[in-house]
Structure 1
Protein backbone atom coordinates (compact mmCIF):
# COMPACT_ATOMS: atom_id res chain seq x y z
CA UNK A 1 0.00 0.00 0.00
CA UNK A 2 1.41 3.36 -1.08
CA UNK A 3 0.93 6.37 1.19
CA UNK A 4 1.25 10.01 0.24
CA UNK A 5 3.98 12.08 1.90
CA UNK A 6 1.36 13.91 3.96
CA UNK A 7 -0.06 10.60 5.23
CA UNK A 8 3.41 9.29 6.07
CA UNK A 9 4.24 12.49 7.94
CA UNK A 10 0.97 12.34 9.84
CA UNK A 11 1.50 8.69 10.84
CA UNK A 12 5.08 9.25 12.00
CA UNK A 13 4.06 12.38 13.93
CA UNK A 14 1.20 10.43 15.51
CA UNK A 15 3.59 7.66 16.57
CA UNK A 16 5.86 10.34 18.02
CA UNK A 17 3.08 11.95 20.07
CA UNK A 18 1.84 8.58 21.36
CA UNK A 19 5.41 7.65 22.32
CA UNK A 20 6.11 10.89 24.18
CA UNK A 21 2.72 10.67 25.90
CA UNK A 22 3.65 7.27 27.29
CA UNK A 23 6.85 8.77 28.74
CA UNK A 24 4.62 10.48 31.32
CA UNK A 25 2.94 7.17 32.16
CA UNK A 26 5.93 4.85 32.41
CA UNK A 27 8.16 7.40 34.17
CA UNK A 28 5.43 8.05 36.75
CA UNK A 29 5.02 4.30 37.34
CA UNK A 30 8.78 3.86 37.78
CA UNK A 31 9.21 6.91 40.03
CA UNK A 32 6.60 5.49 42.38
CA UNK A 33 9.13 2.74 43.21
CA UNK A 34 12.61 4.27 42.85
CA UNK A 35 14.52 7.48 43.57
CA UNK A 36 15.10 10.02 40.79
CA UNK A 37 18.85 9.27 40.67
CA UNK A 38 18.24 5.52 40.26
CA UNK A 39 15.59 6.23 37.66
CA UNK A 40 17.91 8.57 35.75
CA UNK A 41 20.79 6.11 35.50
CA UNK A 42 18.65 3.41 33.92
CA UNK A 43 16.38 5.70 31.89
CA UNK A 44 19.17 7.72 30.28
CA UNK A 45 21.52 4.75 30.20
CA UNK A 46 19.08 2.82 28.03
CA UNK A 47 18.21 5.95 26.05
CA UNK A 48 21.91 6.67 25.41
CA UNK A 49 22.38 3.11 24.13
CA UNK A 50 19.41 3.32 21.74
CA UNK A 51 20.49 6.66 20.26
CA UNK A 52 24.11 5.46 19.84
CA UNK A 53 22.84 2.46 17.87
CA UNK A 54 20.66 4.76 15.77
CA UNK A 55 23.59 7.15 15.17
CA UNK A 56 25.73 4.21 14.02
CA UNK A 57 22.95 3.10 11.67
CA UNK A 58 22.68 6.64 10.25
CA UNK A 59 26.51 6.93 10.02
CA UNK A 60 26.53 10.09 12.12
CA UNK A 61 29.78 9.61 14.04
CA UNK A 62 32.13 11.19 11.42
CA UNK A 63 30.20 14.45 11.91
CA UNK A 64 31.50 14.68 15.50
CA UNK A 65 35.05 15.23 14.20
CA UNK A 66 33.83 18.20 12.15
CA UNK A 67 32.30 20.07 15.09
CA UNK A 68 33.84 23.46 15.84
CA UNK A 69 34.82 24.76 19.28
CA UNK A 70 31.70 26.94 19.18
CA UNK A 71 29.56 23.86 18.60
CA UNK A 72 31.08 22.13 21.63
CA UNK A 73 30.45 25.22 23.76
CA UNK A 74 26.82 25.29 22.60
CA UNK A 75 26.45 21.59 23.43
CA UNK A 76 27.89 22.28 26.86
CA UNK A 77 25.43 25.10 27.58
CA UNK A 78 22.55 23.00 26.29
CA UNK A 79 23.71 20.03 28.34
CA UNK A 80 23.71 21.97 31.62
CA UNK A 81 20.28 23.46 30.88
CA UNK A 82 18.90 20.06 29.90
CA UNK A 83 20.19 18.43 33.07
CA UNK A 84 18.48 20.99 35.29
CA UNK A 85 15.32 21.22 33.18
CA UNK A 86 14.90 17.45 32.87
CA UNK A 87 15.48 16.99 36.59
CA UNK A 88 12.65 19.42 37.33
CA UNK A 89 10.43 17.71 34.74
CA UNK A 90 10.75 14.31 36.39
CA UNK A 91 10.53 15.98 39.80
CA UNK A 92 7.11 17.29 38.70
CA UNK A 93 6.11 13.82 37.47
CA UNK A 94 7.15 12.40 40.84
CA UNK A 95 5.39 15.13 42.87
CA UNK A 96 2.06 15.54 41.05
CA UNK A 97 -0.29 12.59 41.46
CA UNK A 98 -1.65 12.47 37.91
CA UNK A 99 0.80 12.75 34.96
CA UNK A 100 -1.90 14.28 32.72
CA UNK A 101 -1.79 17.38 34.97
CA UNK A 102 1.93 17.70 34.24
CA UNK A 103 1.26 17.30 30.52
CA UNK A 104 -1.43 19.99 30.46
CA UNK A 105 0.59 22.54 32.45
CA UNK A 106 3.65 21.76 30.30
CA UNK A 107 1.75 23.34 27.40
CA UNK A 108 3.30 26.54 28.76
CA UNK A 109 6.42 25.60 26.78
CA UNK A 110 5.33 26.97 23.37
CA UNK A 111 4.23 30.20 25.08
CA UNK A 112 7.66 30.62 26.62
CA UNK A 113 9.34 29.75 23.30
CA UNK A 114 7.38 32.56 21.62
CA UNK A 115 8.29 35.03 24.37
CA UNK A 116 11.99 34.13 24.28
CA UNK A 117 12.00 34.18 20.47
CA UNK A 118 10.57 37.70 20.66
CA UNK A 119 13.15 38.84 23.23
CA UNK A 120 16.21 37.05 21.80
CA UNK A 121 15.54 36.40 18.11
CA UNK A 122 13.42 39.55 17.63
CA UNK A 123 10.60 37.43 16.15
CA UNK A 124 7.12 38.91 16.36
CA UNK A 125 3.91 37.06 17.12
CA UNK A 126 0.56 37.76 15.49
CA UNK A 127 -2.90 38.12 17.03
CA UNK A 128 -3.73 34.41 16.65
CA UNK A 129 -0.54 33.41 18.46
CA UNK A 130 -1.23 36.00 21.16
CA UNK A 131 -4.75 34.61 21.65
CA UNK A 132 -3.31 31.12 21.94
CA UNK A 133 -0.76 32.27 24.50
CA UNK A 134 -3.47 33.85 26.65
CA UNK A 135 -5.61 30.69 26.48
CA UNK A 136 -2.67 28.51 27.55
CA UNK A 137 -1.98 30.80 30.50
CA UNK A 138 -5.67 30.77 31.53
CA UNK A 139 -5.84 26.98 31.20
CA UNK A 140 -2.62 26.45 33.18
CA UNK A 141 -3.94 28.75 35.93
CA UNK A 142 -7.24 26.81 36.13
CA UNK A 143 -5.38 23.49 36.39
CA UNK A 144 -2.86 24.51 39.02
CA UNK A 145 -5.01 26.88 41.14
CA UNK A 146 -5.83 25.42 44.57
CA UNK A 147 -8.38 28.05 45.61
CA UNK A 148 -6.22 29.62 48.30
CA UNK A 149 -5.33 33.28 48.46
CA UNK A 150 -1.96 32.82 50.17
CA UNK A 151 0.79 33.23 47.57
CA UNK A 152 2.77 30.29 49.02
CA UNK A 153 -0.18 27.90 48.65
CA UNK A 154 -1.87 29.46 45.61
CA UNK A 155 -0.95 26.62 43.22
CA UNK A 156 -0.70 22.85 43.60
CA UNK A 157 2.71 21.56 44.69
CA UNK A 158 4.82 20.62 41.67
CA UNK A 159 3.61 23.47 39.45
CA UNK A 160 6.84 25.31 40.18
CA UNK A 161 8.89 22.39 38.84
CA UNK A 162 6.97 22.39 35.55
CA UNK A 163 7.54 26.15 35.25
CA UNK A 164 11.31 25.78 35.86
CA UNK A 165 11.49 22.93 33.37
CA UNK A 166 9.47 24.85 30.75
CA UNK A 167 11.64 27.97 31.08
CA UNK A 168 14.84 25.98 30.59
CA UNK A 169 13.29 23.95 27.78
CA UNK A 170 12.15 27.10 25.98
CA UNK A 171 15.63 28.60 26.38
CA UNK A 172 17.14 25.50 24.82
CA UNK A 173 14.63 25.59 21.96
CA UNK A 174 15.71 29.11 21.07
CA UNK A 175 19.42 28.18 21.29
CA UNK A 176 18.85 25.11 19.10
CA UNK A 177 16.80 27.15 16.63
CA UNK A 178 19.71 29.57 16.23
CA UNK A 179 22.26 26.79 15.74
CA UNK A 180 20.39 23.87 14.13
CA UNK A 181 22.25 24.47 10.83
CA UNK A 182 25.65 23.79 12.41
CA UNK A 183 24.80 20.90 14.78
CA UNK A 184 23.12 17.71 13.57
CA UNK A 185 19.92 16.86 15.53
CA UNK A 186 21.24 13.35 16.27
CA UNK A 187 24.39 14.87 17.79
CA UNK A 188 22.15 17.09 19.91
CA UNK A 189 20.27 14.02 21.13
CA UNK A 190 23.48 12.10 21.90
CA UNK A 191 24.82 15.07 23.86
CA UNK A 192 21.60 15.40 25.85
CA UNK A 193 21.53 11.72 26.81
CA UNK A 194 25.24 11.80 27.71
CA UNK A 195 24.94 14.82 30.02
CA UNK A 196 21.84 13.40 31.73
CA UNK A 197 23.45 9.99 32.23
CA UNK A 198 26.61 11.51 33.75
CA UNK A 199 24.51 13.72 36.04
CA UNK A 200 22.40 10.74 37.15
CA UNK A 201 25.51 8.66 37.92
CA UNK A 202 26.99 11.54 39.91
CA UNK A 203 23.77 12.06 41.85
CA UNK A 204 23.52 8.31 42.54
CA UNK A 205 27.05 8.28 43.97
CA UNK A 206 26.48 11.49 45.97
CA UNK A 207 23.34 10.05 47.57
CA UNK A 208 25.04 6.68 48.07
CA UNK A 209 22.15 4.85 46.41
CA UNK A 210 22.18 1.33 44.99
CA UNK A 211 21.47 0.29 41.41
CA UNK A 212 19.33 -2.51 42.79
CA UNK A 213 15.74 -1.64 41.88
CA UNK A 214 12.47 -3.63 41.62
CA UNK A 215 11.92 -5.63 38.42
CA UNK A 216 8.61 -3.81 37.78
CA UNK A 217 10.39 -0.44 37.88
CA UNK A 218 13.11 -1.72 35.54
CA UNK A 219 10.45 -2.95 33.12
CA UNK A 220 8.69 0.44 33.10
CA UNK A 221 12.01 2.27 32.64
CA UNK A 222 13.06 -0.05 29.81
CA UNK A 223 9.80 0.47 27.90
CA UNK A 224 9.78 4.21 28.64
CA UNK A 225 13.39 4.67 27.49
CA UNK A 226 12.53 3.16 24.11
CA UNK A 227 9.43 5.33 23.76
CA UNK A 228 11.02 8.53 25.07
CA UNK A 229 14.70 9.17 24.30
CA UNK A 230 14.58 6.97 21.18
CA UNK A 231 11.23 6.41 19.40
CA UNK A 232 9.92 9.95 20.02
CA UNK A 233 13.08 11.48 18.60
CA UNK A 234 13.42 9.15 15.61
CA UNK A 235 9.79 9.30 14.46
CA UNK A 236 9.73 13.04 15.13
CA UNK A 237 12.70 13.59 12.81
CA UNK A 238 11.27 11.29 10.12
CA UNK A 239 7.90 13.07 10.21
CA UNK A 240 9.65 16.36 9.37
CA UNK A 241 10.82 14.81 6.09
CA UNK A 242 7.20 14.71 4.95
CA UNK A 243 5.30 17.48 6.75
CA UNK A 244 6.03 21.00 7.97
CA UNK A 245 7.02 21.74 11.56
CA UNK A 246 3.81 23.73 12.06
CA UNK A 247 1.71 20.73 10.97
CA UNK A 248 3.62 18.50 13.35
CA UNK A 249 3.01 21.01 16.15
CA UNK A 250 -0.75 20.68 15.60
CA UNK A 251 -0.55 16.90 15.98
CA UNK A 252 1.73 17.24 19.03
CA UNK A 253 -0.85 19.49 20.70
CA UNK A 254 -3.01 16.39 21.28
CA UNK A 255 -0.37 14.93 23.63
CA UNK A 256 -2.39 15.80 26.72
CA UNK A 257 -5.33 13.73 25.51
CA UNK A 258 -3.18 10.63 25.10
CA UNK A 259 -1.64 11.17 28.54
CA UNK A 260 -5.13 11.58 30.01
CA UNK A 261 -6.32 8.30 28.48
CA UNK A 262 -3.09 6.50 29.36
CA UNK A 263 -3.25 7.69 32.98
CA UNK A 264 -6.76 6.31 33.30
CA UNK A 265 -5.88 2.96 31.72
CA UNK A 266 -2.63 2.54 33.69
CA UNK A 267 -3.47 4.11 37.05
CA UNK A 268 -7.27 3.99 36.95
CA UNK A 269 -7.92 7.61 37.80
CA UNK A 270 -8.89 10.90 36.15
CA UNK A 271 -7.91 14.36 37.40
CA UNK A 272 -10.72 16.63 38.62
CA UNK A 273 -13.09 17.94 35.95
CA UNK A 274 -11.90 21.50 36.46
CA UNK A 275 -8.36 20.36 35.67
CA UNK A 276 -9.58 18.54 32.56
CA UNK A 277 -11.41 21.69 31.39
CA UNK A 278 -8.24 23.73 31.99
CA UNK A 279 -6.26 21.10 30.08
CA UNK A 280 -8.53 21.34 27.06
CA UNK A 281 -8.18 25.13 27.15
CA UNK A 282 -4.37 24.77 27.01
CA UNK A 283 -4.70 22.39 24.06
CA UNK A 284 -6.89 24.90 22.18
CA UNK A 285 -4.29 27.56 23.01
CA UNK A 286 -1.44 25.44 21.61
CA UNK A 287 -3.51 24.78 18.47
CA UNK A 288 -4.03 28.53 17.99
CA UNK A 289 -0.29 29.11 18.38
CA UNK A 290 0.39 26.46 15.72
CA UNK A 291 -2.22 27.94 13.34
CA UNK A 292 -0.79 31.39 13.99
CA UNK A 293 2.66 30.18 12.97
CA UNK A 294 1.21 28.64 9.79
CA UNK A 295 -0.53 31.89 8.89
CA UNK A 296 2.67 33.86 9.54
CA UNK A 297 4.68 31.58 7.22
CA UNK A 298 2.01 31.78 4.52
CA UNK A 299 2.13 35.57 4.71
CA UNK A 300 5.93 35.59 4.42
CA UNK A 301 5.75 33.18 1.47
CA UNK A 302 3.19 35.42 -0.27
CA UNK A 303 5.34 38.52 0.24
CA UNK A 304 8.45 36.74 -1.08
CA UNK A 305 6.65 35.47 -4.21
CA UNK A 306 5.25 38.95 -4.83
CA UNK A 307 8.64 40.66 -4.89
Structure 2
Protein backbone atom coordinates (compact mmCIF):
# COMPACT_ATOMS: atom_id res chain seq x y z
CA UNK A 1 0.00 0.00 0.00
CA UNK A 2 1.34 3.43 -0.93
CA UNK A 3 1.98 5.70 2.06
CA UNK A 4 -0.03 8.97 2.00
CA UNK A 5 3.20 10.99 2.18
CA UNK A 6 4.68 9.23 -0.86
CA UNK A 7 1.43 9.62 -2.77
CA UNK A 8 1.42 13.32 -1.94
CA UNK A 9 5.03 13.67 -3.05
CA UNK A 10 4.34 11.85 -6.32
CA UNK A 11 1.31 14.04 -7.08
CA UNK A 12 3.35 17.17 -6.35
CA UNK A 13 6.07 15.91 -8.71
CA UNK A 14 3.48 15.23 -11.45
CA UNK A 15 1.99 18.71 -11.08
CA UNK A 16 5.51 20.15 -11.19
CA UNK A 17 6.18 18.22 -14.39
CA UNK A 18 3.03 19.53 -16.08
CA UNK A 19 3.75 23.09 -14.93
CA UNK A 20 7.39 23.00 -15.97
CA UNK A 21 6.61 21.48 -19.38
CA UNK A 22 4.76 24.69 -20.24
CA UNK A 23 8.02 26.63 -19.83
CA UNK A 24 9.38 25.04 -23.01
CA UNK A 25 6.38 26.23 -25.01
CA UNK A 26 5.71 29.71 -23.63
CA UNK A 27 9.37 30.72 -23.44
CA UNK A 28 9.90 29.68 -27.06
CA UNK A 29 6.85 31.68 -28.15
CA UNK A 30 7.96 34.72 -26.11
CA UNK A 31 11.51 34.75 -27.51
CA UNK A 32 10.26 34.92 -31.08
CA UNK A 33 9.81 38.68 -30.59
CA UNK A 34 12.44 39.65 -28.02
CA UNK A 35 16.07 39.00 -27.07
CA UNK A 36 17.21 36.52 -24.43
CA UNK A 37 18.42 39.23 -21.95
CA UNK A 38 15.09 41.08 -22.16
CA UNK A 39 13.18 37.83 -21.80
CA UNK A 40 15.13 36.64 -18.75
CA UNK A 41 14.91 39.95 -16.90
CA UNK A 42 11.10 40.14 -17.02
CA UNK A 43 10.55 36.37 -16.70
CA UNK A 44 12.54 36.10 -13.48
CA UNK A 45 11.51 39.52 -12.23
CA UNK A 46 7.89 38.36 -12.22
CA UNK A 47 8.88 34.95 -10.84
CA UNK A 48 10.80 36.62 -7.99
CA UNK A 49 7.75 38.73 -7.17
CA UNK A 50 5.45 35.67 -7.08
CA UNK A 51 7.89 33.66 -4.98
CA UNK A 52 8.45 36.47 -2.47
CA UNK A 53 4.70 36.82 -2.00
CA UNK A 54 4.35 33.08 -1.44
CA UNK A 55 7.34 32.96 0.92
CA UNK A 56 6.04 35.92 2.93
CA UNK A 57 2.42 34.85 3.38
CA UNK A 58 2.10 31.09 2.83
CA UNK A 59 5.37 29.27 3.51
CA UNK A 60 7.37 28.16 6.52
CA UNK A 61 9.07 31.20 8.03
CA UNK A 62 12.78 30.70 8.49
CA UNK A 63 15.48 33.36 8.30
CA UNK A 64 18.74 32.72 6.49
CA UNK A 65 20.57 33.68 9.70
CA UNK A 66 18.94 30.67 11.41
CA UNK A 67 20.37 28.19 8.91
CA UNK A 68 23.45 26.09 9.66
CA UNK A 69 26.62 27.33 7.99
CA UNK A 70 26.65 24.36 5.61
CA UNK A 71 23.07 25.06 4.52
CA UNK A 72 23.92 28.70 3.80
CA UNK A 73 26.79 27.61 1.56
CA UNK A 74 24.54 25.09 -0.16
CA UNK A 75 21.95 27.79 -0.81
CA UNK A 76 24.58 29.94 -2.54
CA UNK A 77 25.88 27.03 -4.61
CA UNK A 78 22.34 26.12 -5.68
CA UNK A 79 21.78 29.72 -6.77
CA UNK A 80 25.01 29.80 -8.80
CA UNK A 81 24.36 26.37 -10.31
CA UNK A 82 20.82 27.35 -11.27
CA UNK A 83 22.07 30.59 -12.83
CA UNK A 84 24.32 28.62 -15.17
CA UNK A 85 21.85 25.81 -15.87
CA UNK A 86 18.76 27.92 -16.53
CA UNK A 87 20.67 30.44 -18.64
CA UNK A 88 21.92 27.55 -20.78
CA UNK A 89 18.41 26.10 -20.85
CA UNK A 90 16.79 29.21 -22.30
CA UNK A 91 19.66 29.69 -24.73
CA UNK A 92 19.00 26.17 -26.00
CA UNK A 93 15.25 26.90 -26.26
CA UNK A 94 16.01 30.05 -28.25
CA UNK A 95 18.36 28.24 -30.66
CA UNK A 96 16.21 25.11 -31.19
CA UNK A 97 13.26 25.09 -33.55
CA UNK A 98 11.38 22.39 -31.64
CA UNK A 99 11.48 22.77 -27.81
CA UNK A 100 10.72 19.06 -27.30
CA UNK A 101 14.26 18.26 -28.52
CA UNK A 102 15.65 20.27 -25.63
CA UNK A 103 13.57 18.20 -23.22
CA UNK A 104 14.99 14.96 -24.65
CA UNK A 105 18.57 16.19 -24.21
CA UNK A 106 17.73 17.53 -20.75
CA UNK A 107 16.80 13.95 -19.76
CA UNK A 108 20.54 13.27 -19.47
CA UNK A 109 20.68 15.13 -16.13
CA UNK A 110 20.39 11.90 -14.04
CA UNK A 111 23.53 10.62 -15.79
CA UNK A 112 25.42 13.61 -14.46
CA UNK A 113 23.85 12.99 -11.03
CA UNK A 114 25.24 9.43 -11.12
CA UNK A 115 28.70 10.54 -12.25
CA UNK A 116 28.91 13.30 -9.64
CA UNK A 117 27.51 11.00 -6.95
CA UNK A 118 30.10 8.35 -7.85
CA UNK A 119 33.09 10.70 -7.56
CA UNK A 120 31.99 13.01 -4.73
CA UNK A 121 29.52 11.00 -2.65
CA UNK A 122 31.08 7.55 -3.27
CA UNK A 123 27.70 6.24 -4.46
CA UNK A 124 27.86 2.87 -6.23
CA UNK A 125 25.51 1.70 -8.99
CA UNK A 126 25.03 -1.77 -10.46
CA UNK A 127 24.61 -3.11 -14.00
CA UNK A 128 21.02 -1.85 -14.41
CA UNK A 129 22.13 1.76 -13.93
CA UNK A 130 24.97 1.28 -16.43
CA UNK A 131 22.52 -0.17 -18.98
CA UNK A 132 20.27 2.85 -18.39
CA UNK A 133 23.18 5.19 -19.08
CA UNK A 134 24.04 3.38 -22.31
CA UNK A 135 20.42 3.48 -23.51
CA UNK A 136 20.11 7.17 -22.65
CA UNK A 137 23.30 8.06 -24.50
CA UNK A 138 22.13 5.97 -27.46
CA UNK A 139 18.96 8.05 -27.50
CA UNK A 140 20.99 11.27 -27.54
CA UNK A 141 23.00 9.98 -30.50
CA UNK A 142 19.82 8.96 -32.35
CA UNK A 143 18.33 12.43 -31.81
CA UNK A 144 21.31 13.86 -33.69
CA UNK A 145 21.18 11.23 -36.46
CA UNK A 146 19.94 12.57 -39.79
CA UNK A 147 19.16 11.02 -43.17
CA UNK A 148 22.80 11.59 -44.15
CA UNK A 149 24.05 9.76 -41.08
CA UNK A 150 25.52 10.92 -37.80
CA UNK A 151 27.25 14.26 -38.05
CA UNK A 152 29.42 15.28 -35.12
CA UNK A 153 28.81 18.92 -36.00
CA UNK A 154 25.07 18.43 -35.38
CA UNK A 155 25.82 17.04 -31.95
CA UNK A 156 28.21 19.90 -31.16
CA UNK A 157 25.92 22.67 -32.32
CA UNK A 158 25.32 25.41 -29.71
CA UNK A 159 21.73 24.35 -28.96
CA UNK A 160 22.79 20.79 -28.07
CA UNK A 161 25.76 21.92 -26.00
CA UNK A 162 23.58 24.42 -24.12
CA UNK A 163 21.01 21.68 -23.35
CA UNK A 164 23.74 19.40 -22.00
CA UNK A 165 25.22 22.22 -19.90
CA UNK A 166 21.74 22.69 -18.46
CA UNK A 167 21.49 18.96 -17.69
CA UNK A 168 24.88 18.98 -15.93
CA UNK A 169 24.23 21.93 -13.65
CA UNK A 170 20.60 20.95 -13.03
CA UNK A 171 21.97 17.62 -11.82
CA UNK A 172 24.32 19.49 -9.49
CA UNK A 173 21.37 21.47 -8.10
CA UNK A 174 19.43 18.26 -7.45
CA UNK A 175 22.37 16.72 -5.60
CA UNK A 176 22.79 19.81 -3.45
CA UNK A 177 19.06 20.00 -2.72
CA UNK A 178 18.98 16.29 -1.88
CA UNK A 179 21.76 16.74 0.70
CA UNK A 180 20.18 19.71 2.49
CA UNK A 181 16.44 19.42 1.80
CA UNK A 182 15.70 18.70 5.49
CA UNK A 183 17.17 22.00 6.68
CA UNK A 184 16.36 24.23 3.68
CA UNK A 185 12.68 25.23 3.27
CA UNK A 186 11.67 24.66 -0.39
CA UNK A 187 10.28 28.20 -0.68
CA UNK A 188 13.61 29.64 0.47
CA UNK A 189 15.47 27.62 -2.14
CA UNK A 190 13.06 28.82 -4.83
CA UNK A 191 13.43 32.48 -3.82
CA UNK A 192 17.21 32.13 -3.74
CA UNK A 193 17.50 30.60 -7.22
CA UNK A 194 15.06 33.12 -8.69
CA UNK A 195 16.96 36.02 -7.10
CA UNK A 196 20.25 34.79 -8.59
CA UNK A 197 18.63 34.45 -12.02
CA UNK A 198 17.01 37.90 -11.88
CA UNK A 199 20.30 39.55 -10.92
CA UNK A 200 22.16 37.49 -13.52
CA UNK A 201 19.89 38.54 -16.37
CA UNK A 202 19.98 42.14 -15.11
CA UNK A 203 23.77 42.08 -15.43
CA UNK A 204 23.38 40.38 -18.84
CA UNK A 205 21.32 43.36 -20.07
CA UNK A 206 23.90 45.81 -18.74
CA UNK A 207 26.84 43.90 -20.23
CA UNK A 208 25.15 43.66 -23.64
CA UNK A 209 24.13 47.35 -23.54
CA UNK A 210 20.50 46.47 -24.16
CA UNK A 211 17.39 48.32 -23.09
CA UNK A 212 14.68 45.66 -22.51
CA UNK A 213 11.93 45.84 -25.13
CA UNK A 214 8.74 43.78 -25.30
CA UNK A 215 5.86 43.10 -27.67
CA UNK A 216 2.30 42.46 -26.54
CA UNK A 217 2.66 38.78 -27.45
CA UNK A 218 5.88 38.39 -25.46
CA UNK A 219 4.29 40.06 -22.42
CA UNK A 220 1.36 37.64 -22.63
CA UNK A 221 3.54 34.53 -22.91
CA UNK A 222 5.98 35.68 -20.22
CA UNK A 223 3.10 36.49 -17.89
CA UNK A 224 1.73 32.95 -18.17
CA UNK A 225 5.04 31.10 -18.33
CA UNK A 226 6.63 32.87 -15.35
CA UNK A 227 3.78 31.65 -13.14
CA UNK A 228 3.76 28.07 -14.42
CA UNK A 229 7.51 27.51 -14.56
CA UNK A 230 9.82 29.36 -12.14
CA UNK A 231 7.04 29.77 -9.58
CA UNK A 232 4.69 26.76 -9.60
CA UNK A 233 6.97 24.24 -11.30
CA UNK A 234 10.04 24.84 -9.15
CA UNK A 235 8.06 25.28 -5.92
CA UNK A 236 6.23 21.99 -6.49
CA UNK A 237 9.48 20.21 -7.39
CA UNK A 238 11.26 21.17 -4.18
CA UNK A 239 8.06 20.55 -2.17
CA UNK A 240 7.90 17.00 -3.55
CA UNK A 241 11.43 16.35 -2.27
CA UNK A 242 10.09 16.63 1.29
CA UNK A 243 7.96 13.50 0.76
CA UNK A 244 9.80 11.40 -1.83
CA UNK A 245 13.40 10.93 -2.88
CA UNK A 246 14.84 12.94 -5.76
CA UNK A 247 14.92 9.71 -7.81
CA UNK A 248 11.11 9.51 -7.69
CA UNK A 249 10.80 13.16 -8.70
CA UNK A 250 13.22 12.53 -11.57
CA UNK A 251 11.31 9.44 -12.70
CA UNK A 252 8.00 11.30 -12.83
CA UNK A 253 9.73 14.24 -14.49
CA UNK A 254 10.67 12.14 -17.53
CA UNK A 255 7.03 12.32 -18.64
CA UNK A 256 7.40 16.05 -19.35
CA UNK A 257 8.63 15.30 -22.87
CA UNK A 258 5.20 13.96 -23.83
CA UNK A 259 3.48 17.07 -22.49
CA UNK A 260 5.96 19.24 -24.40
CA UNK A 261 5.40 17.33 -27.66
CA UNK A 262 1.66 17.83 -27.21
CA UNK A 263 2.12 21.53 -26.45
CA UNK A 264 4.49 22.07 -29.39
CA UNK A 265 1.91 20.50 -31.71
CA UNK A 266 -1.05 22.46 -30.31
CA UNK A 267 0.64 25.87 -30.11
CA UNK A 268 3.27 25.69 -32.87
CA UNK A 269 2.07 22.86 -35.14
CA UNK A 270 5.44 21.10 -35.07
CA UNK A 271 6.43 17.55 -34.22
CA UNK A 272 9.84 15.90 -33.79
CA UNK A 273 11.23 13.78 -36.63
CA UNK A 274 11.06 9.99 -36.38
CA UNK A 275 14.70 9.74 -35.25
CA UNK A 276 14.21 12.52 -32.71
CA UNK A 277 11.07 10.86 -31.34
CA UNK A 278 12.68 7.40 -31.11
CA UNK A 279 15.81 8.89 -29.59
CA UNK A 280 13.69 10.78 -27.08
CA UNK A 281 11.88 7.58 -26.11
CA UNK A 282 15.25 5.88 -25.57
CA UNK A 283 16.38 8.68 -23.24
CA UNK A 284 13.18 8.26 -21.24
CA UNK A 285 13.59 4.47 -21.04
CA UNK A 286 17.21 4.87 -19.98
CA UNK A 287 16.33 7.37 -17.25
CA UNK A 288 13.52 5.10 -16.00
CA UNK A 289 16.04 2.24 -15.61
CA UNK A 290 18.53 4.49 -13.82
CA UNK A 291 15.86 5.84 -11.50
CA UNK A 292 14.39 2.41 -10.75
CA UNK A 293 17.84 1.24 -9.72
CA UNK A 294 18.19 4.27 -7.44
CA UNK A 295 14.77 3.63 -5.88
CA UNK A 296 15.57 -0.06 -5.36
CA UNK A 297 18.89 0.70 -3.71
CA UNK A 298 17.43 3.32 -1.37
CA UNK A 299 14.51 1.11 -0.35
Q: Same fold per TM (> 0.5)?
A: yes
2:193 is the counterpart of 1:179: no
Equivalent residue of 1:168, what SS? helix
Is contact 2:205-2:211 (8 Å) kept? Answer: yes
Q: CA deviation digits over 1:250-276, x for unaligned, max 9?
A: 321111111111111110011111100
Residue 136 of structure 1 aligns to a residue whose secondary structure is: helix
The CA distance in 2 between the partners of 1:217 and 1:111, in whole Å, is 34
User: Separation in 2 of the partners of 1:294 and 1:108?
Assistant: 18
Gapped regions of structure 1 (runs ≥ 5): 299-307
- Within a 5 Å distance, the mapping from 1:87-236 to structure 2 comes to 87-146=87-146, 147=148, 151-236=152-237
CA–CA separation in structure 1 for the residues paired with 2:168 and 2:249:
22
Aligned partners of 1:205, 1:73: CA distance in 2, in Å?
27
| Deviation for aligned residue 1:243 | 5.0
Paired residues in the alignment total: 296
How many angstroms does 1:201 deviate by? 1.1
CA distance 1:157–1:272, change in 2 (3 Å) = farther
Alignment correspondent of 2:45: 45
Whether the 8 Å contact between 1:144 and 1:156 is mirrored in structure 2 is no
Specify the SS of the correspondent of 1:158: helix
Q: Deviations over 1:224-271 (max 9, x none)?
A: 111111111233344456555444333211111111111111100111
Quick check: 1:96–1:102 contact (8 Å CA) kept in 2? yes
RMSD over aligned CA atoms reads 2.3
TM-score normalized by the length of structure 2: 0.90
The equivalences for 1:294-305 within 5 A come to: 294-298=295-299
Task: Give a deviation string over 1:278-301, Cα, whole Å, max 9, x none.
Answer: 001111111111211121123xxx
- Aligned-partner Cα distance in 1 for 2:197–2:129: 33
| Map of 1:255 onto structure 2 | 256
Q: 1:12 to 1:161 in 2, by over 3 A?
A: same
Change (3 A) 1:73 1:296: closer
Q: Secondary structure at the match of 2:221?
A: helix
Aligned partners of 2:174 and 2:246 also within 8 Å:
no
How far apart, in 2, do the equivalents of 1:75 and 1:297 lie? Answer: 25
CA 1:75–1:14 in 2, change beyond 3 Å: closer, same or farther? closer
| Residue 79 (structure 1) shift | 2.4
Aligned match of 1:301 = none
Structure 1 residues 142-177: Cα deviation after superposition (integer angstroms, max 9, x where no partner) = 112455676445545411111222222222322333
Which segment is superposed worse, 46-55 or 140-149?
140-149
Q: What's 1:31 paired with? A: 31
Structure 2: where are the runs of 5+ without partners? Answer: none
Query: Structure 1 residues 30, 77: closer, same or farther in 2, change over 3 A?
Result: same
Q: Would the alpha carbon gap of residues 150 and 104 (structure 1) be closer, same or farther in structure 2, given more than 3 Å must change?
A: closer
Inter-partner Cα distance in structure 2 for 1:20 and 1:143 = 22
Deviation of the 1:127 alpha carbon: 1.9
Structure-1-length-normalised TM-score: 0.88
1:225-304 equivalence runs, <5 A: 225-240=226-241, 243=244, 245-298=246-299
Structure 2: how far apart are the matches of 1:237 and 1:191?
12
- The structure number with the bigger radius of gyration is 1
Q: Which moved more, 1:180-189 or 1:82-91?
A: 180-189
